């Protein structure tokens, strides 16, 4: 019973803070940034792509590592799951992640 009450309290607090966030002002002030600050930083974008390539190159090693932790009959399934997750995460990065990392700021 105590566990269930704890979840309801956590849910209520999350809902309260989420609703309160809707009514907060997102305008910190109207000021103009210089063109230098508004331009995209291509070095950051290049480094993000390079780091992404490094992470994607680690996927086969991760698949072999996880494959060594399971029984022989489950090795292919475990390796396939690693590669499927790599593809899914790549699509999620293209759709959502790049915009979150390099998109416009909201409220500052």
Q: What is the pTM of this model?
A: 0.52
% of the chain with per-residue pLDDT over 90: 24
Closest by alpha carbon to 106, among 37, 36, 25? 25
Please report the pLDDT score of residue 50 as a whole number: 94
- Tokens standing for residue 41: 């930083």
- Give the residue extent of every domain in the chain: 41-108
Q: How far, in Å, are 18, 32, 38, 41, 101 from residue 35 at the CA level?
A: 34, 9, 5, 12, 20
| Dihedral (Cα; 25, 28, 29, 33), 10-degree rounding | -140
Q: Summarize pLDDT for 49-95 with one digit per residue, the tens.
A: 899 889 889 989 989 999 999 999 999 999 999 899 989 988 998 88
The two three-digit tokens of residue 96, written as one number: 């959502």
Distance CA 108, CA 106 (A): 6
């Amino acid at each position: 019973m105590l566990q269930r009450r704890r979840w309801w309290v956590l849910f209520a607090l999350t809902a309260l803070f989420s609703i309160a966030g809707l009514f907060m002002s997102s305008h910190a002030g109207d000021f103009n940034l210089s063109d230098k600050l508004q331009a995209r930083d291509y070095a950051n974008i290049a480094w993000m792509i390079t780091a992404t390539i490094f992470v994607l190159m680690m996927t086969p090693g991760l698949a072999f590592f996880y494959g060594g932790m399971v029984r022989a009959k489950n090795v292919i399934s475990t390796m396939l799951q690693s590669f499927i997750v790599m593809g899914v995460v790549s699509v999620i990065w293209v759709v959502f992640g790049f915009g979150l990392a390099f998109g416009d700021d909201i409220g500052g």
